[in-house]
Structure 1
């Protein structure tokens, strides 16, 4: 799928090889008209690669990604407010869309119809599909300070958990869920049987959480998470560390030089782990993506800077493709927003670049 020889080729878009695309990656056609808030590839249950993106233009778009790197727009759905998150069902037949209109809708891709499946009293920040041996449900986190679990066939939640603060970020990798809230709270939930809180973790970061991503151990079981903050720093945190030194933080998305003794520090907007290698990607307000090997504690690669921040990223199910969205994230305020700058989603052949460092 997406072999290096095809996706690594640059012939298709030498014309876009300007400042907008310094890495010469494949450009997704018909991108969103406003900042991209969420990206997700279809799960491994289907052979094809489909990419969905949610945007502040209140729309969710779906593309088919061909092996050549070409993208074909398939369909689009609209909600009443900006989209804050999207996720797939495990069988790839449905897409869930969380919005500022306080609702989550289910988009049935076969019929191209949507129905409301969840509601909160404030914008819905996160949505994740949970596929457990004994149940399937949708987990939603909101700025109304609740986490809700839904059987999407009924209008009331199966379970509501009160959070200490507004939900800012979350991730699910069965049987673990992690939620980061305002006030730098971190809560780990176990999802077996009935979802319940299992641990509260004191944040290793001093500034506001922006993104969280669960990682697995050598036995392919979720073991911990990476947490990104607005202060250009990522924390690697094991839920049950074998050694106190297992947990650490590292700086990223910062300017190299320090003119006048100052260093520019940028928010870490998203983190995702490679599904095969277990290495990770971070993207930031500095308009760069970086690939890291957390076990060797080294950086594998850093991109050239884009015209605008990178807001979201994801890998496809077999780890051949890295998708990243370039759009304004309002980190410098409204005066830096330019309607003239287009939003982009790029696709990169990444399997080799994310291989862990070989141990000498």
Structure 2
């Protein structure tokens, strides 16, 4: 695929599937990438070079920045680790009883949140760092998203739980996904009013947190990431969702290798990018919304791997025309 000034591939990509891409808290320059190749990598996307790589004992399933010089990660070895970019040091913070699937930082509550296949969410105090509580979930945690001081957790069995991070004594809301199939990804609106949820069956739901009936009336779901081939519809998992912090619009990435940008409030697709080499595994907008990181890798959902499986992270400069709601 030809590179354009608006889009290029990162040099030194991971050697195996990318599990997560995350931009630094205040930058469109630093990108954290976790991978099944047992590394966490830090890239400078402006100069297109890999600044640091932290080798791990097992595949890494998620990562996040805490601030501009520290990051966290977790994966199949069940250990939450923290990295200091200035000293190039790494330390273990604590453990789950099964692989860690999700790692997020909540700035409003100043906690690191991990979700695991052991059916718990744990909170970690980044100041010490140490465990600040363990909270049972109804099933394996597949995805979670921080929404202000609330936490939205998606588990197996299509369960959705809304927690208040300032008071984890009880679950604030228990919901069931409005999509019929397994939940793949949840991300919350930057305006904190709701969240977007995707499933393995080419659908996305836009949900609102306010339980009042008039607000709940606004929720809806739509089909996407489906391709007609020889009169048959092929339906693909929607693996990734990323929000534009400025415009409240969002991108979705599917196993069809396509990235779409949506205006969730006006129920419109704003644009669709060209097809990428393989499935879209993860997406992240920079804080100012000027750059979108797109991880493309083979995700073993098709029966046969392609002849060439290419792991790549594309950096795309996006503009208002692609990401801003049409007035």
Task: Calculate the TM-score normalised by the size of structure 1.
Answer: 0.85
* Pair 1:246-2:218 in alignment: yes
Structure 1's unaligned 5+ residue stretches are 1-15
User: Partners of 1:151 and 1:244 in 2: how far apart?
Assistant: 34
Q: CA RMSD in A?
A: 1.9
User: Partners of 1:296 and 1:22 in 2: how far apart?
Assistant: 31
User: Partners of 1:322 and 1:194 in 2: how far apart?
Assistant: 33
User: Partners of 1:178 and 1:23 in 2: how far apart?
Assistant: 37
Match 2:105 to one of 114, 129, 142: 129
Partner of residue 160, structure 1: 134
Q: 1:245 to 1:107 in 2, by over 3 A?
A: same
How many equivalent pairs are there? 324
Partner of residue 30, structure 1: 12
User: Partners of 2:144 and 2:209 in 1: how far apart?
Assistant: 15
SS in 2 for 1:118: strand
* Pair 1:181-2:152 in alignment: no
Select between 24-33 and 206-215 the one with higher mean Cα deviation: 24-33
Q: Offset at 1:177?
A: 0.9
C-alpha contact (below 8 Å) 1:22/1:305 kept by paired residues: no
Partner of residue 60, structure 2: 83
Instruction: Tell me the alpha carbon deviations over residues 31-60 of structure 1, each in whole angstroms, 9 at most, x when there is no partner.
Output: 11101000000012xx56200110100101
User: Partners of 2:300 and 2:286 in 1: how far apart?
Assistant: 27
User: Partners of 2:64 and 2:319 in 1: how far apart?
Assistant: 23
Higher strand share: 2
Partner of residue 119, structure 1: 95
User: Partners of 2:127 and 2:118 in 1: how far apart?
Assistant: 23
Partner of residue 279, structure 1: 249
Structure 2's unaligned 5+ residue stretches are none
Map 1:92-103 → 2, pairs under 5 A = 92-103=68-79
* Pair 1:58-2:38 in alignment: yes
Q: Offset at 1:270?
A: 0.5
Partner of residue 232, structure 1: 202
